[in-house]
Amino acid sequence: MSRIPAMTPRSGTQTTQTTNRSRTRSNLPQAEPKLKIGSLDSVNERLTTAASGNTLRNSQGDLTARSNNTLRNSQADLTARSSAGDDEEFQQQQRPEAVDMPFFKQDPFTDVVLALNGKRIFTCRALLAYHSPVLAQLLSSGSVKSNKEMDIPDKDFEDFVELLAYMDPRVDYQITEQSAIALLPLAEEYGIVSLKRLCEQTIIQSFRQMRRGKKPGALPVEISLEYLHLADKYDFPGLKNLVTDEFVNSEDPSATKSLLESELISEHVKLTVLDKKVEKVHFELDKERRERTAIETKLTDYGNKRFRRPLPD
């Protein structure tokens, strides 16, 4: 891999150019007084100067060609080495760095092994039982209590690694919306209340971030349906209120139709959203009726004052 030459500051460049021009001028032959055309010395001097100039140009051209060939050969050699796998340093830089979790290997405190799809996680019974009452009951059962290995069927290995990363205090775990959505089924199944609450807060924060700078009802219907499904499935009242407000204020005519046709939303939540929309319509109609009544009252008062005649004496 060729190195990029260091850039020279602009002021330094001007100084260098000036110095080079001065040197070039000093190296040029000084102008001699014009000789007569027929002078033999003048002809010899011109021939000598021309020959030296050609020699200098040829030397410079040869040096440039040799340097270009050397550079091309070096680049070709580097490409061949990296493609053939001979350059170990190059391969190490391109190879992704594996994440080394503490529960990927056995330690003196390991007393249970979780087996998932042929892969193993080494952890501690007390840690699992502290976070999950369901796992505590499984670990205290007869088959698992006498056996050091516990099989976890029908679970994704990466999702369970996320779960152990949340549980293990040795891991500086930072949850994201994507990991929260992946962890919600595990938190629900194993009764991990603290994790479920953390997932709810993370998803609500992400939804609010998505709505920031937009008026209510501006989000696409598909996105609102996904969040409403999460709120309905895992009983998140805060998220449910936010998404319901999004549907109520949506100006998309297909929003209500998509909500009613969705098979992921329960009938109770659908009725709740429709009731909120009806309440908003009634509120807007009442507001319009009050404004119209106020205008009619003002017009009537104005007409009575204008056409009222004074009584005769």
pLDDT at 119 over 50: yes
- 138's CB contacts (< 8 A; 6+ apart) are 144, 150
For the stretch 76-114, pLDDT in tens is 443 444 444 444 443 333 333 336 789 999 999 899 999
* Residue numbers of the domain that contains 144: 100-212
The neighbouring-strand residues paired with 121 are 114
Do both 228 and 200 map to the same domain? no
Highest-confidence segment of 2-6, 50-54, 286-290, 303-307: 286-290
pLDDT category at 261 given cuts 50, 70, 90 is very high
DSSP E strands, 109-203: 112-116, 119-123, 149-151
Within a domain: 110: yes
Contact 217, 194 (CB under 8 A): no
Place of tokens 């000598």: 48
Instruction: Report the relative pairing of strands 149-151 and 119-123 from DSSP bridges.
Output: unpaired
Show which of 155, 190, 212 is a domain's final residue. Answer: 212
Instruction: Tell the burial category of 113 from Cβ atoms under 10 Å away from its Cβ (0-12, 13-18, 19+).
Output: middle
Do both 208 and 222 map to the same domain? no
Place of tokens 């490409």: 79
Show which of 186, 212, 238 is a domain's final residue. Answer: 212
For the stretch 266-289, pLDDT in tens is 999 999 999 998 988 888 888 888
pLDDT at 146 over 50: yes
What mean pLDDT is predicted for residues 153-166?
A: 94
Within a domain: 92: no
DSSP line for 249-300? T---THHHHHHHH-SSS-HHHHHHHHHHHHHHHHHHHHHHHHHHHHHHHHHH
Axis crossing angle, helix 221-234 with helix 237-248, rounded to the nearest 10: 150
pLDDT at 222 over 90: yes
Show which of 170, 195, 212 is a domain's final residue. Answer: 212
DSSP E strands, the chain: 112-116, 119-123, 149-151
Best CA proximity match to 113, nearest among 105, 158, 162, 156: 105
Do both 189 and 247 map to the same domain? no
Domain count, the chain: 2
pLDDT category at 164 given cuts 50, 70, 90 is very high
Contact 243, 231 (CB under 8 A): yes
Phi (first) and psi of residue 151, to 5 degrees: -85, 130
Instruction: Compute the distance between CA of residue 272 and CA of residue 276 in angstroms, rounded to an integer.
Output: 6
Do both 110 and 206 map to the same domain? yes
What is the H or E stretch that residue 243 is in?
helix 237-248
Do both 171 and 183 map to the same domain? yes
- This prediction has a pTM of 0.61
Instruction: Compute the distance between CA of residue 173 and CA of residue 166 in angstroms, rounded to an integer.
Output: 6
The neighbouring-strand residues paired with 114 are 121, 150
Do both 155 and 232 map to the same domain? no
